[in-house]
Structure 1
């Protein structure tokens, strides 16, 4: 079975801890790596804009966002702890390959967008502190790819310590900023009361929420919790869930403090002095010294920005690895994988800065948040479905109350982010000199995302009633055949794919051979990993397929049939003929799904390609 972040999987023991403090300490760490995504440079721009325009009045939005994030991250941790799957792996096991490739593509774009904001933030910090150009700063961020490789080779605990150190630098920097700014505590408390002064405040509130809950954090958290080795009994899992929730609560509340501190700093410094339009990080840095009367304010601001950017880029790259391995099961050298993940973010940043200049960094940060908004629903909704599934969660599914709360949060976040995306597209259409191009490209793309999102929302509800007869369930085969059938074949091969087509193929095969014939069930694992590594692959899908083949064999043997199994790896059109031609079979029986037209383009025409490569009759059974 392929393990999430295999090099550090279950590398930290949480067993045999004698005191509650030691148990807590053993589980502490993953949430701090996740929390840096909630204080990354993408959040700084929205917090600065909110504080400078509306003072302290939007602090409640940060608090609400934090509560939402805490629930969603606890669901992500629950998925990883109970199922020992990260969110990408769970998606890969649940959805069809076609849907999974789309979800992977969207997740990769989101990682690139998030990484783009973090790379730019760190580059801006280096520019402000050391006067290094943005392009040079962006190039320097490549080095943290090797830093990540170094840290993970030293163990997950060393990485956690490094990230926590950076988080503390951010926190300490803003404690001093609060001392310099001297905010009005009465107004800070008033800011916790929900109020929206006008439509602009609503827009910024949407931006704050959109920038707070990051899709890559949901993938990351479900993987990082698996670095702990603990007792897998019911009591042990309950304990792990409790301690990880405490870990998440502390870490995310710290992230809330940082975000609130940025907004409060903007309110106490810029709003108070009449600077209502400060949204650019560079502008905020430039104004801090003259308004607060100390050179340390801008220095600590830049230091905190670098620390936030550095910690976020490390965890963002790690999330990229999790998504690639989880969706594609693609095993490549860690340093190559991380370089690819980082280049996906850096190349666009360098090109845009080189072509349009350093003044576009603010727009690039906003664009990155809009792209993240598009992807958010595709991470949240599957997560809620997974942790609500009694079968997947083995009795640790979330309660009805938690499900309702999670769906309300999902609706709020997706709706607000959809409004943000709609506003951006509408703005582009109004300002574009050639809107037809946008109508033919951007608009259809947005509509297709909406259709996919609706599919992911409703598919589990629709298929729940059919679950007894769908994929991966061999126990509902009728196996009724006529004893007066032909029964002329003695060595019969049957291609199976664990779908409804198997039932018809098996029943027809039994009519040909009866209980006297010998049956060989053939299945081909056709993942990218299987195509590359062949029978050396050891991943989740291979494990599942082996188990299902064994279930078929056990069930049919109990009914009196002589059954063997063959598991192949690669393309079915190449592997099935190879198995057939190397054996001594009389006939190959194969079910089809009746695909025609577009479905042939999407799913391929295995039967047509296969029939010309085998030397025995092919009996095709249409579903």
Structure 2
């Protein structure tokens, strides 16, 4: 049975790998340290929203055998709207993923540094972190081979490693189960928690994952009969990913100090309480989170750019490779010399904040088109869930704009 499940495992774990990056680890850490178990319900809500939207993206990919950006190009007939949609998508996904890539690589480096120290060399007065180059090289090799099955196996292994590492870290902290259940099922809004709640949802319901999923399912599955495998794959992987995020919140909640700003501080905070082995489990999880996101972010951007611009989405096509190579290169350089591209990341946050309701709205619209999906279009229940999530994504978008531009909307 397990062998059969592994055979039918698909892009779901890659989607989970994409949303559990170092940014997610940091947000979950801050949520746990700042509010204990009180915000676990926001993660539960995020998991449900992600399952609903990713199932739609997977269904679209299998039935149409096209990526989401390809469908956008073909279904928006008005040239002005089409151009605006393409510009917004390219800005948010391609530029956004370029901005986040340095953080993905740096997160993987933080995990490795806990285990092997900080190897660096000095070139022209600049201190270059060698671990950034190592992670960049591993990501380059896996992406350049362009073999979906190999990529899938490596990322599934890393996701399993990450899941085990964070789960063990959470168990070590001996959490209070009844308090966890209260935090997960009884929504609370502690003082000053609204931005953390928004961040927890925003870091899980990720626009670029919708594009990545729709593009990857057609690499794995080609027949309508495969929908049941895709649905099961999506639910298992996203729920597992959400549990990993919850484990990070639970681990962080056990730390008594408030002087924690990222996952590296979480590792230091756990050490005096639970010994050095807890720190190492966390380091392995952080490394896996960093390297998986460092691979999936450039891959998603390449699928999006190729679909939007009408290029081949074959993973070995020259233009496809050029996109992910550029993003990976910028990420490696920025990470290895320690550039903090705050302004670009702010731009990416705004673009992604605007993009989520736009893409969620477009996805719901397209999922109701019989001409695209036939009998596999959305039913009433799927639309109901979809519109609730659309409403949440609009609030998220307003909150992101509020956070970046200090508009005092909340």
**Do they superpose with TM above 0.5?**
yes
In the alignment, is the contact (CA less than 8 A) between 1:47 and 1:259 conserved in 2?
A: yes
Q: What is the deviation of 1:252?
A: 0.9
Note closer, same or farther for the CA distance 1:80–1:367 as it changes in structure 2 (3 Å cut): same
Q: What is the deviation of 1:226?
A: 0.6
Aligned pairs (5 A) from 1:392-541:
392-426=372-406
- Residue of structure 1 in register with 2:268 after alignment: 286
Q: 1:77 aligns with which of 26, 42, 58?
A: 58
Q: What is the deviation of 1:21?
A: 7.8
Note closer, same or farther for the CA distance 1:89–1:112 as it changes in structure 2 (3 Å cut): same
Q: What is the deviation of 1:139?
A: 3.5
Distance 1:254 1:363 in 2: 33
In the alignment, is the contact (CA less than 8 A) between 1:62 and 1:259 conserved in 2?
A: yes
In the alignment, is the contact (CA less than 8 A) between 2:95 and 2:348 conserved in 1?
A: no
RMSD of the TM alignment (CA)?
2.7
Q: What is the deviation of 1:30?
A: 1.0
In the alignment, is the contact (CA less than 8 A) between 1:145 and 1:317 conserved in 2?
A: no
Q: What is the deviation of 1:249?
A: 0.9
In the alignment, is the contact (CA less than 8 A) between 2:10 and 2:220 conserved in 1?
A: no
SS at match of 2:367: helix
Q: What is the deviation of 1:258?
A: 0.6
Distance 1:241 1:361 in 2: 41
Note closer, same or farther for the CA distance 1:345–1:91 as it changes in structure 2 (3 Å cut): farther
**Equivalent residues, number:** 390
Aligned pairs (5 A) from 1:82-481:
82-95=63-76, 96=79, 98-102=83-87, 103-132=89-118, 135-136=128-129, 137-149=131-143, 151-152=145-146, 155-230=147-222, 232=223, 237=224, 239-268=225-254, 270=255, 273=256, 275-292=257-274, 294-331=275-312, 332-333=317-318, 335-347=321-333, 353-354=338-339, 369=349, 371-426=351-406
More deviation, 381-390/333-342? 333-342
Distance 1:131 1:364 in 2: 29
In the alignment, is the contact (CA less than 8 A) between 2:103 and 2:335 conserved in 1?
A: no
Distance 2:46 2:307 in 1: 28
Q: With CA pairs under 8 Å and 6+ residues apart, which has the higher RCO, 1 or 2?
A: 2
Distance 1:209 1:286 in 2: 26
Q: Which stretches in structure 2 are left out of the alignment for 5+ residues?
A: 121-126
Q: What is the deviation of 1:225?
A: 0.9
Calculate the TM-score normalised by the size of structure 1: 0.58
Calculate the TM-score normalised by the size of structure 2: 0.86
In the alignment, is the contact (CA less than 8 A) between 1:280 and 1:362 conserved in 2?
A: no
In the alignment, is the contact (CA less than 8 A) between 2:98 and 2:298 conserved in 1?
A: no
Q: What is the deviation of 1:310?
A: 0.8
Q: 2:46 aligns with which of 65, 72, 86?
A: 65
Deviations 1:348-397 (A, max 9, x none): 5567x34xxxxx69999788655533432333222121111121112211
Distance 1:119 1:199 in 2: 33
More helix by share: 2
Distance 1:126 1:427 in 2: 39
Deviations 1:121-167 (A, max 9, x none): 12322333333269524343331342223553xx3222211111111
In the alignment, is the contact (CA less than 8 A) between 1:42 and 1:369 conserved in 2?
A: no
Q: Which stretches in structure 1 are left out of the alignment for 5+ residues?
A: 1-19, 355-359, 429-623
Deviations 1:67-123 (A, max 9, x none): 000000000001101111110101111233523441323321232234243123123
Q: What is the deviation of 1:300?
A: 1.6
Note closer, same or farther for the CA distance 1:23–1:89 as it changes in structure 2 (3 Å cut): farther
